[in-house]
Amino acid sequence: MYTEKSFVLKPAEAAKKWYLIDAEDMVVGRLATEIANVLRGKNNPKYTPHTDSGDFVVVVNADKVKFTGNKWDQKIYYKHSGYVGGLKERTAKEQLAKRPDLILLNAVKGMLPKNSLGRKQLTKLKVFAGTEHAHSAQQPEVYKF
């Protein structure tokens, strides 16, 4: 009797690559889905759901992303200080002026699993507001959509 064995990728066997993505004039949600798939490793034929088999992603020009519709005025970002009455809120336009990297980071975070694996995968995302980034030593290759 012949039984086929399932392939399970071990974390040590996963070859991690570095990708560079230019976010200029890209829609936030559509870009975030692509980034989340790369971070999870779904673009890899050896994808294993319970293993961190994804690649590293460096995003530049995060301050030049776009939203569809009226989201610049209507979308609200919340954060809480942990104290009573400590809920702060900003519109997307205010968030772009203060912390443009958090717009894309929060969008990708919402598309990853809500567990320790998702938190580990999010650490492989590096977002920069301008064109300069600190990961040129890793020689990231440009990601094709």
Taking only the tens place, the pLDDT of each residue in 100-134 is 999 999 999 999 999 999 999 999 999 999 999 99
At residue 1, the pLDDT reads 67
User: Dihedral (C-alpha) 87, 114, 13, 140: value to the nearest 10 degrees?
Assistant: -40
User: Which sequence spans correspond to the domains of the chain?
Assistant: 16-67+100-142
Mean pLDDT (whole number) for 74-94 = 97
Residue 116: half-sphere exposure toward Cβ, Cα within 13 Å: 2
At residue 143, the pLDDT reads 96
76, 89 Cβ separation under 8 angstroms: yes
The CATH number that domain 16-67+100-142 falls under is 3.90.1180.10
**Predicted confidence band at 14 (pLDDT cuts at 50, 70, 90)?**
confident
Q: Could you please report the per-residue DSSP string of 100-120? A: HHHHHHHHHHTTS-SSHHHHH
Residue 20 has pLDDT above 70, yes or no: yes
**Predicted confidence band at 6 (pLDDT cuts at 50, 70, 90)?**
confident
**Predicted confidence band at 7 (pLDDT cuts at 50, 70, 90)?**
confident
Mean pLDDT value across the chain: 94
pLDDT tens for 26-60 read: 999 999 999 999 999 999 988 999 999 999 999 99
